[in-house]
Amino acid sequence: MKKILTGCLLCLATSVAMAQNTLKKLDMWVVLQPDGSAIVGEERYSRIGDEGTEGYITFNNLGDIEVINLAVDDETGTEYILEEEWDTQRSRAEKAGRCGFNRTDKGVEICWGIGEPGERTYNIYYRLTNLVQAYDDFDGFNFSFYEAGNTPAREMRLHIIYDKDSLTRDNTAIWAFGFHGYKAIHKGYCEIVVDGPMKKGESVIILMQFQKGLFEPVSKVDGSFTETVKREAFEGSDYNRADAGLKDAGLKDSEEAAAQAFQTPEEEGTDWGLLIGIVAIVGIVGGAIWATNKDKNAFKKRHAKTITLLNTVLGRKKYDELPYYRDLPVGGNLLLSGLTVNTVNALSEFVDSAPDLKVKFNLRLLYEALILRMIYKNQVQVISSEENGELRKLFRISEPVIPEKGTDLTESLSTDSWRKTTEMGMNEAIVSPIIKDAIAQHQGLINDAGIEYQLQSLLYAAAGEDHLLQPKELETYMENNGETWRPLSIVLDLLTERILNDESVTPDSVPQVVGFLRYLKDFSLVGERNLEETGLWKEYLVFASFYGIADQVRNDMKKVAPDVAKLEGLLQPVQLLHEDFMPLTTSLYSTIRIAHHFQTERERDKILKEERKRERARSSGGSGRSSYGGGGGHRGGGGSGFR
């Protein structure tokens, strides 16, 4: 009965999902014209179910704006028949392949028949007359280009373009309201990106202000743009009014407003197109693959040598055709192996038949692997202790021995890897010296042996005179010694989620790493074993921890060779549960994050100045985040979706 009920519920859920219509992605282009009108193009990537008959876009509060020159087509290339008077009461079949205007008491609606269910793309084109209006001080508009109705867009991006990308911070200011996201003046045009799925009722309201002489608007309005349109839009927003050229007591004259609104220089070193791309693709390894085709092509060009090599050694074979590699890859270099995995992942879309490795390494996995390696070397011992009737884990830390200095892996990182640090946080002028200083302090130790030594040194210092460490002791120690260990945290961050430069990827390294991964994943399926190979099992588990597949490899080892698992020195680590040393790994991860975010007083002052500079630029109409509140007095809007 339970199975039948579950099946019925699944069928019901499936039928409901099939019936719903979804606006998966909305891309809009607004091409401004010299007379103040705008040609608008919308691409609506949709999933159409069984419900409804038409799509609609509502325009209310238009004033002297008219919506004209409507044209619609879809992914099949079908050009829809235009009807000046749209009949909303028809069936889906009767509306299919047709579009038109539905005029209401408040404004006008663009309507089109949604046609057959499935994955659909509707391309909608129209002109808005008199969008840009002439005022005494500026030309501009405040317009709601999209309002989420009953089918909110899951992704939304808007481009505003004029005369061969001629919009700059010298002649244009932009503010955005009604959504969470970004607005940017970038490479001669404006770009607006919404963070994540929109909710019903949210709007993309854009306020734009232009210097006189850029347009020759047909629509002219007496009065000040600053004191009327902008002032009303800023009510309820989080923009700084003074930075935007607004004074609470009123401006003395519009010339003073103009001077304040355009005096903030364009942000140096801030590539907002790149930042917006990153926001859209958070989680891609190393931030290596950007959102636009132009950036992708540039990335592909920079890594042409490695892409060619990968196509040669991997592209002609499927993943399951690559030979196993039983030895430790790239000479047992753990970090270099991880960076090679990241590189293959990042470049995979440019490689024919690239293997899906389905693993990547990060700091938490790095700590787990190195703690396990220290346990094997008896540098860290797990001790059970009873206190007040409760069993707890302690860790005895041996005194570390400094290794010989070797080659630093930071020399092997791609220039794309360095960008991630500056794009997602502080200004490059602040970050670069900090990175260079951290690398210099650890010269010769930015490798497997050096990182292991430095982590053991941290644990040893935190353990105190008895050399017994509790995880909480580690965090307390770091709170008082964050400045000392911050350079190590910066170096560790540079060694994860990054990719190699072309010179560091060799014809041997990739087949070794990929073949070894395949060998670990298929461990229980590989029948041939020898004693020499089992001698590597400890390091196998270290690498497996590094790739996040330790549990699978441990279980496979028990299946394949239960007798071998009883060998002296191997039994306890094989049976060692993650829970035994996971508290130390977790504490190490959070502890080093404390050090990573440590800032000197001087650095905090610089960061505050940079943040204030960015906020001034944002509020004065430059690039930056949108304001969820505000936007009052706008024209347009009224809802959009399917019905």
Residue 138 · residue 210 · CB < 8 Å:
yes
Rounded (10°) angle between helices 293-302 and 415-423? 140
Spell out the residues 6+ positions from residue 279 whose beta carbon is closer than 8 angstroms to its own: 182, 193, 195
Spell out the residues 6+ positions from residue 642 whose beta carbon is closer than 8 angstroms to its own: 21, 23, 46, 48, 51, 52, 54, 55, 56, 114, 150, 151
Residues 243 and 379 in one domain: no
Q: What is the per-residue pLDDT for 567? A: 45
* 3-state secondary structure at position 81: strand
- Which among 553, 570, 558, 542 has a CA at the least distance from the CA of 519? 553
Residue 272 · residue 167 · CB < 8 Å:
no
Q: Considering the chain, what is the average pLDDT of its residues?
A: 80
Position 617 in a domain: no
Domain's final residue, options 494, 510, 525: 494
Residues 47 and 187 in one domain: yes
Residues 186 and 61 in one domain: yes
Position 318 in a domain: no
**Which DSSP symbol is given to 627?**
B
Domain's final residue, options 477, 494, 511: 494
Task: Spell out the long-range contacts of 477-481 with Cβ–Cβ below 8 A and sequence spacing 24 or more.
Answer: 477/591, 478/591, 478/592, 478/594, 478/595, 479/594, 481/595
Residue 329 · residue 536 · CB < 8 Å:
no
Q: What is the pLDDT of residues 267-309, one digit of tens each?
A: 333 333 333 332 222 222 233 333 334 456 777 888 888 888 8
**Which DSSP symbol is given to 348?**
G
Give the integer Cα–Cα distance in Å for 178 and 227.
21
Position 443 in a domain: yes
Residues 66 and 185 in one domain: yes
Give the integer Cα–Cα distance in Å for 35 and 534.
78
Mean pLDDT of 19-41: 92
| Residue 463: CA count within 13 A, CB half-sphere | 21
Q: What is the per-residue pLDDT for 601? A: 67
- Residue 457: domain span: 364-494
Domain's final residue, options 494, 519, 545: 494
Q: What is the pLDDT of residues 301-334, one digit of tens each?
A: 888 888 888 888 876 566 667 788 888 999 999 9
Residues 27 and 161 in one domain: yes
Position 167 in a domain: yes
Q: What is the pLDDT of residues 115-165, one digit of tens each?
A: 999 999 999 999 999 999 999 999 999 999 999 999 999 999 999 999 877
Residues 246 and 119 in one domain: yes
Position 558 in a domain: no
pTM of the entire predicted model? 0.54
Q: In Å, what is the CA distance from 141 to each residue of 206, 341, 474, 543?
A: 8, 50, 57, 59
- Which among 147, 131, 165 has a CA at the least distance from the CA of 39? 131
Alpha-carbon dihedral angle through residues 616, 622, 623, 625, given to the nearest 10 degrees = 60
CA-based torsion, 470, 476, 480, 486: positive or negative: positive
Spell out the residues 6+ positions from residue 228 whose beta carbon is closer than 8 angstroms to its own: 135
Spell out the residues 6+ positions from residue 70 whose beta carbon is closer than 8 angstroms to its own: 82, 99, 100, 101, 110, 124, 125, 126
- Which among 123, 518, 176 has a CA at the least distance from the CA of 317? 518
Position 219 in a domain: yes
- Which among 420, 75, 123 has a CA at the least distance from the CA of 277? 420
Residues 378 and 264 in one domain: no
Residues 123 and 254 in one domain: yes
Find tokens 């787990």 and name the residue.
368
Domain count across the chain: 2
Q: What is the pLDDT of residues 74-101, one digit of tens each?
A: 999 999 999 989 999 999 999 999 999 9
User: What pairing do the DSSP bridges indicate for beta strands 156-162 and 624-625?
Assistant: unpaired
- What are 586's two structure tokens? 């977790």
Q: What is the pLDDT of residues 341-394, one digit of tens each?
A: 888 888 887 887 667 777 777 888 888 889 888 988 889 888 877 777 677 778
Residue 66 · residue 129 · CB < 8 Å:
yes
Tell me the DSSP string of 474-490: HHHHHHHHHHHHHHHHH
Position 547 in a domain: no
Position 378 in a domain: yes
**Cβ atoms < 10 Å from Cβ of 80:** 22
Residues forming beta bridges with residue 176, ordered by sequence position: 206
